[in-house]
Amino acid sequence: MSDYVQVSTSAPTRDAAVKLAEGATTARLAAGAQVTGPVTSVFWHLGERGAGEEWQVLLFTTADRYPALESHLVDAHPWDNPQVTAVAVVHGSADYLAWIRRTVEAD
């Protein structure tokens, strides 16, 4: 398992996405975040197919900090059941990965 993860969620508006990114980085659960969008999502929800625009949030943290970041995002999210997923960072520059670890380590 990788020591680092890229976490993804999405939000209904740019402001909501930025708020999630700011909250996670202020709490030092993520070293950094990127907000992109709008993106078009196509999905099943409550038994029906839907589509809509969302703003994607990518956050960068350690595997150790992921559970706390996930909890924070779910609690702060405007949706009842938000998508929060993580993928392993397989490779990255040593200096960048060290920066992530230093930034999110608990005091």
Q: What is the 3-state secondary structure (H, E, C) of the chain?
A: CCCEEEEEEEECCHHHHHHHHHHHHHCCCCCEEEEEEEEEEEEEECCEEEEEEEEEEEEEEECCCHHHHHHHHHHHCCCCCCCCEEEECCCCCHHHHHHHHHHHCCC
**Overall CATH class of domain 4-104:** alpha beta
What pTM did the predictor assign? 0.94
pLDDT digits (tens, 9 = 90+) for 31-70: 999 999 999 999 998 899 999 999 999 999 999 999 999 9
Where do the domains of the chain lie?
4-104
Confidence of residue 88 (pLDDT cuts 50, 70, 90): very high
